[in-house]
Structure 1
């Protein structure tokens, strides 16, 4: 650890006092580690006055009456039985169940602590055992990170070490509230949490992740917030392990750890969190099995059996009046001191109220009753604990016990709000410790990025989320030198260290991993992301070569997702390190990083939407697939810059074919207009190269002298120019049997036929000129009226390429896709992707006579070589959502201004609404009751649909982005027409999205 020197006279004086030395000179014998611990923990706790203390569970006259009435009726064996909290399991056989039945019936035990099993099984057993008990039973559970610590099918919250990195105490309180609600719903009265141990020893084998950190104030602050939340829901919190298990190198489950500190040091450091929480109203405390010679001189006497510790220190000196519970009496740290029965008696005589997990209840009862009969245990002593136990049973509501209802228990314990909170926790916990040259967040998405995995646990959520931002290549090799050769072509290397997400597992880097990390970092720009406890960093000798260092604490799906968001700037880093790492990093180190407005990921509840309502999308998707309206589809919903729903349904075809995945590509048809052509046109407008009144002849001199020369930019963009809807250009190139004529097509490419229309089908190079001439010469409609036309965007492509001298394909790629991270968005996808990741759009029996897969469905676009202004783009829903989010953010995404907000507003304005034309410039609007929306979106909303079964829609009023992609045209467009549209599948999903918004 860092060698902190005590710099002030006051600090030296306190240090001298704490280590019980007579002078500053004598203090130099203390280790540097001890100096550091003390230097970080010098704040002295000032106890609250009686009026200031928090009382969560107040006494009442009715409570006293109930306790008196029960106690007066109790026999001696019933009183003694109340002292025992016995281990129970819901995953054991009937032998165990009958054993508990017998202990309740014959020995009148007062409490159970449940360990492994499941929630419904535990609830049913609790009801059984409560029905058998004359006095209602206390039910406890050791659930430091939630019920999942013991029970399957329940929720797990982060380790305390992870929570220790969070600065917002309200979030800790919410964790406590969730734990309290879940415990109460399960009929649990005690949760043996929070851990109040200060983990000042990094080698501590049993506390570690269970501690909030190595400073007493951090531990106290976090534990107090957790306790407040839990107890606010009527569940007792039990602080542990009194008087402090944090600075030990052994495990009290296996042996008796020694804490060789002075009383003064223990009072200053270890006891601080306990004092804080006592004053804040903690209901109970657990006494650990520790050997502390300065507090208990009897050799090898555990603190749990020490009158000096339990009565003199805890009750008399510190004034604790709540329930006092031993740690498990079967643990070797206590069991090695005395045998069963004798140990229980010693612990009770020491001042404990509840004896936890006794080895032999009948023998312990016998020993205590014998001690009562011979006067060793007085009536006063017995009454003190039993009456206190009964009082707390009243406080928790056991005077009016009701059986646990199990029908909805599973769903009640696993609500969407759990994941919502978990996202917030990791957003606030994940800690950035190095950010050399501002490598974080990664802003430049044009660079080449590689990912290398270390560790032996899963990494799929991390890698898949990284790839949602840009192209990230996974690189692996069995030889580090060969690996570095492969990495030379990459600008940035992300190294993820993934370890099994279990509290007591070893999380250290292996020697081989340390060597690999060193070699990789020496030769590359490395971001190291550690998905395990921060102590794993202790084995790294230096961090000089590592450019970026992220501590993600745990290897869960949500921690991996959030960490990837931080790396790409969708979330800013906020966490602070709860422990120190050698000389490299100190407690509370943690850098803030920049948040740039890229799409992030969270649960619907975090954006005030309902998961259960959104789940109705599944039903609508199934209806579409089962009704043969589309074989498969992708749906993405984002709100306020966060993707809250992303799901893929069905298969590529109705036959045995690949299932649709989130990364698969679809032909987005006319959506190409607004995610390729339109944004480029908006940039031209933003650069004042065109305005609303610019005539077409100025934009594109090719049309000078034609009947279209004076069409204004505004009329062109709003489909108010009198252009024809479309022309089937391909028909003129087919023979009487609808086969491509040799005059126009070749089966092989050559200098004259190089425009690829489909597999083994190449169109004459000059046919583009024919298409443009046809468009130029077509008559305009006599009546000026709205008519949607593909010609608009065919013309706009010509305009863009004429003005910029660049192809539309390169404009879209360079101006938008490469910097937006739209790496799955492209024309002619077979040039970049395997055919099997592209959904087919049609079995063409009228033009190309083959399955159209990887080639654009639109015939005119196909005749343009797959690159057209009105169609041709292939993409997936996530990529399309990025462009739509760019529009929602009025031209800014990822910290880049693509065009001004003023330009966006011009294009999203309904310029001819007064004439009944609900259109923007290039964007669809609601278009009345027959339009493409559910009519439940705002007038400011905008979007587009695509012939192949696609829809994108953005509503600025609710900050919603909705993307629906499908291949409804496969295998063919039937005589029934567009059933997907007729049955309003896309609109019904949009309606569900709107209904899911509750704020």
Structure 2
């Protein structure tokens, strides 16, 4: 009893001597709320509305462009920038310049779906999503997402408008195509989650796009308003599936597309980006998404054709979007929203909801302690050896064999067979043929007229045909001329066809007489070298088709060699 009394006295004395004027440390969430509230409460209505806008910035344009951005920052208090074409050092210098004149630090975003090289010179490009979709090892996708995140962080970019989670079930899709991980919702979701986890682990916000799903369209929303004719049930079970999975792991952002979706929005021709039902009722209420909601670029014709500049932005905000991206006329749009606020069309609660979410994102990006970007060694830092390693690993796991009759692959070089090479398509093939020549005696017969070619090929035991596409983002079918050459040669010779383009290019090609077929997806230097090594037996082929191109060769198909 005596011991308890002593403990009680000591406790009371301890409290008596506690310095009451010392502030008790705040929980991280309380610190964030305190910072957000302090910034928000000190803002004018124009400053609040300005936060809703991320405008397009370029590092390869003239002084007039730079002056126009500076004016929007100083006079209209815009909240952020989305950088497009240019170079890393130029962009870093401009970011420092723009940040120095912003009252509230700017949120910096970029489209870096396959790395900074999507927009910038002197930077690294990773394979397109469709190529990554052929890989079974999702840890590799996570590593790539992490490395892209590191590059963004080094450049002062806080938000990457990636991953694309559209499920490409339409092979004629003119805008998504190879930007998609494929046509299987499970594969798309798994790849998107791995990419997101890798990138957000580096402190970079990911943004899934294009909600509610742009994968089965045959028109480009940059040019017109595409229609998605699926039922509400189909969209919920397929197109929305990756979003639901990404929400479970806390993805930071979602971008809403400009689509006509009659099953989700009854107003004829109203783009999904301007639809209260799509943005608020479905995305925010039904799916309970709490992160930042971005419009797709509001200068795209899918939205721009619906309303005048300014009116589009107001409609998008009323629909429930938090951030209005790439507006055509920021001053006019800001004044429209301010006028709607004063006319009680927009409540203070609605405005605070979005602006505080934007400020919270800025806090999470450490913009409450902004530090200028160090440009020393910037280009070197963005081009480390690991990028080459990861790229080679990606192609080694993605390249897919889909035919191997009579074990024509890999080529048995010990037999000392006479092998001919014929190149088709408009792309370069130098790295492929050079790599083949390191391991076999192969003769390049490219460029011979078809009659002379067929005659010359009679002397050879095997023919390797490489189809090399200059722009391998294209998903178009192969030209009739190239298709005929392949079909004629394969009827009279043992042929291995290697396609350095999307698998979709094979849609109209008869593969009946071809003994070996490899899909290498891209015509890059690494894709050519790795593919040649597979033909030579130096590497395995373990990839699986990310999307079908006919009824025989479907998503998930692939032969291990």
TM range (shorter): over 0.9
Q: Distance in 1 between matches of 2:208 and 2:551?
A: 32
Instruction: Please state how far the C-alpha of 1:488 moved relative to its aligned partner.
Output: 1.0
Q: Could you report, residue by residue, the CA deviation over 1:724-781 in whole angstroms, capped at 9, with x for unpaired residues?
A: xxxxxxxxxxxxxxxxxxxxxxxxxxxxxxxxxxxxxxxxxxxxxxxxxxxxxxxxxx
Q: Distance in 2 between matches of 1:548 and 1:280?
A: 41
1:447 lines up with 2:417 in the alignment: yes
Alignment equivalent of 1:473, drawn from 433, 439, 443: 443
Aligned to 1:546: 514
Alignment equivalent of 1:242, drawn from 206, 211, 214: 211
Q: Do the aligned partners of 1:458 and 1:498 also contact (CA within 8 Å) in 2?
A: yes
1:492 lines up with 2:492 in the alignment: no
Q: Distance in 1 between matches of 2:28 and 2:361?
A: 9
Aligned to 1:555: 523
1:564 lines up with 2:529 in the alignment: no
Aligned to 1:157: 126
Alignment equivalent of 1:90, drawn from 59, 75, 95: 59
User: What secondary structure sits across from 2:109 in the alignment?
Assistant: strand
The 5 A counterparts of 1:128-167 are 128-167=97-136
Instruction: Please state how far the C-alpha of 1:203 moved relative to its aligned partner.
Output: 0.4
Give every structure 1 segment of 4 or more consecutive aligned residues whose post-TM-superposition deviation is greater than 2 Å.
476-479, 505-508
Q: Distance in 1 between matches of 2:252 and 2:237?
A: 23
Aligned to 1:329: 298
Q: Distance in 2 between matches of 1:523 and 1:474?
A: 18
The 5 A counterparts of 1:373-388 are 373-388=342-357
Gaps of 5+ in 2: 1-26
Aligned to 1:390: 359
Aligned to 1:461: 431
Alignment equivalent of 1:303, drawn from 266, 272, 276: 272
1:585 lines up with 2:537 in the alignment: no
The 5 A counterparts of 1:369-448 are 369-445=338-414, 446-448=416-418
User: What secondary structure sits across from 1:419 in the alignment?
Assistant: helix
Aligned to 1:519: 488
Q: Distance in 2 between matches of 1:220 and 1:480?
A: 46
Structure of higher RCO (CA pairs closer than 8 Å, 6+ residues apart) = 2
Q: Distance in 2 between matches of 1:501 and 1:186?
A: 28
Gaps of 5+ in 1: 1-57, 594-999
Q: Could you report, residue by residue, the CA deviation over 1:47-74 in whole angstroms, capped at 9, with x for unpaired residues?
A: xxxxxxxxxxx96111111101111111
Q: Could you report, residue by residue, the CA deviation over 1:637-670 in whole angstroms, capped at 9, with x for unpaired residues?
A: xxxxxxxxxxxxxxxxxxxxxxxxxxxxxxxxxx
Alignment equivalent of 1:225, drawn from 183, 194, 205: 194
Instruction: Please state how far the C-alpha of 1:479 moved relative to its aligned partner.
Output: 2.5
Is 470-479 or 195-204 further displaced after alignment? 470-479
Q: Do the aligned partners of 1:194 and 1:240 also contact (CA within 8 Å) in 2?
A: yes
User: What secondary structure sits across from 1:530 in the alignment?
Assistant: strand
1:109 lines up with 2:78 in the alignment: yes
Q: Could you report, residue by residue, the CA deviation over 1:137-170 in whole angstroms, capped at 9, with x for unpaired residues?
A: 0000011111001001111000000000000000
Instruction: Please state how far the C-alpha of 1:539 moved relative to its aligned partner.
Output: 1.8
Alignment equivalent of 1:573, drawn from 538, 541, 546: 541
Q: Distance in 2 between matches of 1:265 and 1:553?
A: 29
Q: Under a length normalisation based on structure 2, what TM-score does the superposition of the two structures give?
A: 0.94
Instruction: Please state how far the C-alpha of 1:501 moved relative to its aligned partner.
Output: 3.9
Q: Under a length normalisation based on structure 1, what TM-score does the superposition of the two structures give?
A: 0.53
Q: Do the aligned partners of 1:501 and 1:556 also contact (CA within 8 Å) in 2?
A: no
Instruction: Please state how far the C-alpha of 1:500 moved relative to its aligned partner.
Output: 1.3
Instruction: Please state how far the C-alpha of 1:478 moved relative to its aligned partner.
Output: 3.9
The 5 A counterparts of 1:299-378 are 299-378=268-347
Q: Do the aligned partners of 2:294 and 2:321 also contact (CA within 8 Å) in 1?
A: yes
User: What secondary structure sits across from 1:442 in the alignment?
Assistant: coil
Q: Could you report, residue by residue, the CA deviation over 1:795-843 in whole angstroms, capped at 9, with x for unpaired residues?
A: xxxxxxxxxxxxxxxxxxxxxxxxxxxxxxxxxxxxxxxxxxxxxxxxx
Q: Distance in 2 between matches of 1:365 and 1:510?
A: 49
Aligned to 2:174: 205
Q: Distance in 2 between matches of 1:160 and 1:342?
A: 35
User: What secondary structure sits across from 2:507 in the alignment?
Assistant: helix
Aligned to 2:40: 71
Q: Do the aligned partners of 1:455 and 1:497 also contact (CA within 8 Å) in 2?
A: yes
Instruction: Please state how far the C-alpha of 1:476 moved relative to its aligned partner.
Output: 2.8
Q: Distance in 2 between matches of 1:557 and 1:508?
A: 23
Q: Distance in 2 between matches of 1:340 and 1:59?
A: 40
Alignment equivalent of 1:482, drawn from 428, 452, 455: 452
Q: Do the aligned partners of 1:79 and 1:386 also contact (CA within 8 Å) in 2?
A: yes
Q: Distance in 2 between matches of 1:131 and 1:373?
A: 31
User: What secondary structure sits across from 1:254 in the alignment?
Assistant: coil
Aligned to 2:12: none
Q: Do the aligned partners of 2:413 and 2:439 also contact (CA within 8 Å) in 1?
A: no
User: What secondary structure sits across from 1:390 in the alignment?
Assistant: helix
Equivalences, count: 534
The 5 A counterparts of 1:758-773 are none
Q: Do the aligned partners of 2:159 and 2:204 also contact (CA within 8 Å) in 1?
A: yes
User: What secondary structure sits across from 1:176 in the alignment?
Assistant: helix
User: What secondary structure sits across from 1:257 in the alignment?
Assistant: coil
Q: RMSD between aligned alpha carbons?
A: 1.0
User: What secondary structure sits across from 2:376 in the alignment?
Assistant: coil
1:61 lines up with 2:30 in the alignment: yes
Q: Could you report, residue by residue, the CA deviation over 1:184-237 in whole angstroms, capped at 9, with x for unpaired residues?
A: 000001110000100000000000000000111111011110111000000000
Aligned to 1:99: 68
1:186 lines up with 2:158 in the alignment: no
Q: Distance in 2 between matches of 1:456 and 1:314?
A: 44
Q: Distance in 2 between matches of 1:588 and 1:394?
A: 42
Shift in alpha-carbon separation, 1:442–1:255, aligned structure 2, 3 A: same
Aligned to 1:120: 89
Aligned to 2:24: none
Q: Do the aligned partners of 2:177 and 2:475 also contact (CA within 8 Å) in 1?
A: no
Aligned to 2:237: 268
Q: Distance in 1 between matches of 2:466 and 2:449?
A: 18
Instruction: Please state how far the C-alpha of 1:519 moved relative to its aligned partner.
Output: 0.7
Q: Could you report, residue by residue, the CA deviation over 1:369-400 in whole angstroms, capped at 9, with x for unpaired residues?
A: 00000100000000000001000100111000
Instruction: Please state how far the C-alpha of 1:477 moved relative to its aligned partner.
Output: 4.3
Instruction: Please state how far the C-alpha of 1:533 moved relative to its aligned partner.
Output: 0.7
User: What secondary structure sits across from 2:193 in the alignment?
Assistant: helix
Q: Do the aligned partners of 2:472 and 2:500 also contact (CA within 8 Å) in 1?
A: no
